[in-house]
Structure 1
Amino acid sequence: MYPGIDFNGKVVWITGASSGIGEALALQMAARGSQLILSARNQTELERVETLCKDAGAADVLVLPLDVSKHETMEPAAQQVFAQYGKLDLLINNAGVSQRSFCIDTAFEVYRQIMDINVLGQIALTLAVLPAMVARGEGHIAVTSSIAGKVGVPLRTGYCAAKHAVMGFFDALRTEVAADGLQVTTIVPGFIQTNVSKNALRGDGQVAGITDQDIAEGMPVDECADVIITGFETGLPEIAVGTGPEMGLPQLKSDNPTGAFQALEQMAAQLRQAS
């Protein structure tokens, strides 16, 4: 357990802040008086969220458009944040893209794109802020992973690879920076009502444009943000969030790996028949 976070006055940088979990977290932190840096590619949507955050009570809001796949832009963006605020209390690496295609139908460039955004983008931004946090002896870095970072599921080979990678990277980082006074939190959502499946990539790189039934019936995003914020406030190093049967898959894999693999193989077979 970590000391809980009091968000009042804290400088918090959220990527993927233009919608979904990122937007919901921004609004929750705004209501607690945080100073927010909102990043994503869509400036218009960021400005919409900025207005909502100011109305909710944010102490300050900086809109900082950012494409995390352009790794060379991370350092200048971090320099801008430190120049304006002098510190960064919490970075939430939340940007990401999912996948909806079988491996055999997926172009290699789609895998590269998924890894560039979901893994290398998170690492690049973390590296850009880490030295200042270590020098200060204080700071908190979080990443939004997924149940797909714990268990391999069909139609998401690239997404699962990426989310397993960030779980490994940030779990290892946690061990390294603890002695420097820094904290690392991994967020592990299940099915949440966001545009994650609608914005997912097909095998040819095109956007899927369809919301999965599991996502549509998942936890409302505001409730998801409530759980995550509570996890930060109570000091959890890993925050699992979701209410569906998918949340039991990691434990099933641990207790009965053969049973878990068979269940997921059946799921894949059903998806093949339906496609």
Structure 2
Amino acid sequence: MNFSGQTVWITGASSGIGAALARELAADGAKVILSGRNEAALATVAADCPTAVVLPFESTDYDALPALVEQAWNWQGAVDLLINNAGISQRSLAVDTALPVYQRIVDVDLLAPIALTQALLGRMVARGSGRLAFISSIAGKVGVPMRTAYCAAKHGLIGYADALRAETAHLGLKVHVISPGSIRTDVSRNALTADGSKRGQSDKVIDNGIEPAVAARAMIDAMLADQRDIIVAEGGEKQMGELRRTPDALLDQVGGLMSAGYAARMAAEAQ
């Protein structure tokens, strides 16, 4: 079982996890839509994918989303899986960090994936099928020092995704939360510091992390197995994530609220 023949839209696809996901999915026969800001880098990834289209955009350009969704959907007649991967990290103490840094990280890591999902959601609901994946982080489950903005955004992303799953599971949609640990990417090098400038150097734990292709394969296989809370990490990071994993029984319980008429009852009470 794989995503062969399906259309997958990946944000942050120019490098790191996003590029690895694109290449792995394309090797499985998926048709991939590659989005990000660096059009040249996206073209390099597309060259490795038999069926791909480059759809560059700034993730926080919310006004552009309706037209982009239209273009993405019409490319192959639907989008079967949206992977919200684009993001930016942080390396600074809260006491030193300027508010615009929080605003930027929350905008990119939380509001942007919500905005894109909301723009696409109605089409998936009308179709009665589709998958939505959100790349959070172990830092989205556990508060990690020097990442207060990043943790806030990634925790929020999990909350949105879990609530969205509860609302849409009975409509035929599947929602995956993916929490990576240290993956060998430029995430630390591109992280924002206290004044909003790029850090410019990596962390040893990231440099010794999981290879992106290995991580991408694990994420894809977990989605194919219909796992909802997916952790891709090793060692202590994996242990931290597992301690904060949401049990399937609880996800089932919350999801069952909609099938039991929760939204209709709430609407009736509001009248």
Which TM-score band (shorter chain)?
Answer: 0.7 to 0.9
Task: Report the 3-state secondary structure (helix = DSSP H, G, I; strand = E; otherwise coil) of the residue aligned with 2:157.
Answer: helix
The amino acid across from 1:20 in the alignment is G
Given the alignment, which residue of 219, 233, 237 partners 1:242? 233
The amino acid across from 1:99 in the alignment is Q
Deviations 1:128-177 (A, max 9, x none): 11000000001100000000010101110000000000000001100000
Contact (CA 8 Å) 1:167, 1:186: kept in 2 or not?
A: yes
Greater mean alpha carbon deviation, residues 172-181 or residues 77-86: 77-86
Q: TM-score, normalised by structure 2?
A: 0.88
The structure-2 alpha-carbon separation of the partners of 1:253 and 1:33, relative to structure 1 and needing over 3 Å to count, comes to: closer
Greater mean alpha carbon deviation, residues 226-235 or residues 130-139: 226-235
Rounded Cα–Cα distance in structure 2 between residues aligned with 1:252 and 1:134: 33
Deviation at 1:252, TM superposition (A): 5.1
Residues 1:179 and 2:170 are matched in the alignment? yes
Rounded Cα–Cα distance in structure 2 between residues aligned with 1:244 and 1:214: 11
Structure-1 residue corresponding to 2:256: none
Deviation at 1:222, TM superposition (A): 1.3
Residues 1:21 and 2:17 are matched in the alignment? yes
- Superposed, 1:233-272 pairs within 5 Å as 233-251=224-242
Contact (CA 8 Å) 2:125, 2:172: kept in 1 or not?
A: yes
Gap regions ≥5 residues in structure 1: 55-59, 255-275
Task: Report the 3-state secondary structure (helix = DSSP H, G, I; strand = E; otherwise coil) of the residue aligned with 1:187.
Answer: strand
The amino acid across from 2:188 in the alignment is S
Structure-2 residue corresponding to 1:270: none
Equivalent pairs: percent with the same residue? 47
Contact (CA 8 Å) 2:13, 2:36: kept in 1 or not?
A: yes
Rounded Cα–Cα distance in structure 1 between residues aligned with 2:64 and 2:183: 30
The structure-2 alpha-carbon separation of the partners of 1:139 and 1:252, relative to structure 1 and needing over 3 Å to count, comes to: closer
| Deviation >2 Å, runs of 4+ | 250-254
Residues 1:11 and 2:2 are matched in the alignment? no
Rounded Cα–Cα distance in structure 1 between residues aligned with 2:89 and 2:41: 20
The amino acid across from 2:27 in the alignment is A
Given the alignment, which residue of 195, 206, 211 partners 1:204? 195
Greater mean alpha carbon deviation, residues 41-50 or residues 228-237: 228-237
Backbone CA RMSD of aligned residues: 1.3
The amino acid across from 1:201 in the alignment is L
Number of corresponding residues? 245
- Superposed, 1:60-209 pairs within 5 Å as 60-209=51-200
Deviations 1:26-79 (A, max 9, x none): 00111111111000000000000000123xxxxx21100011122222221101
Rounded Cα–Cα distance in structure 2 between residues aligned with 1:144 and 1:37: 17
Rounded Cα–Cα distance in structure 1 between residues aligned with 2:56 and 2:154: 23
Residues 1:31 and 2:22 are matched in the alignment? no
The amino acid across from 1:32 in the alignment is D
Deviations 1:173-200 (A, max 9, x none): 0000011100000001011101100010
Rounded Cα–Cα distance in structure 1 between residues aligned with 2:87 and 2:164: 20
Deviation at 1:6, TM superposition (A): 2.8
The amino acid across from 1:187 in the alignment is I
Greater mean alpha carbon deviation, residues 230-239 or residues 13-22: 230-239
Gap regions ≥5 residues in structure 2: 246-271
The structure-2 alpha-carbon separation of the partners of 1:17 and 1:109, relative to structure 1 and needing over 3 Å to count, comes to: same
Deviation at 1:82, TM superposition (A): 1.6
The amino acid across from 2:26 in the alignment is A
Rounded Cα–Cα distance in structure 1 between residues aligned with 2:176 and 2:244: 23
Contact (CA 8 Å) 1:218, 1:244: kept in 2 or not?
A: no
Rounded Cα–Cα distance in structure 2 between residues aligned with 1:83 and 1:234: 28
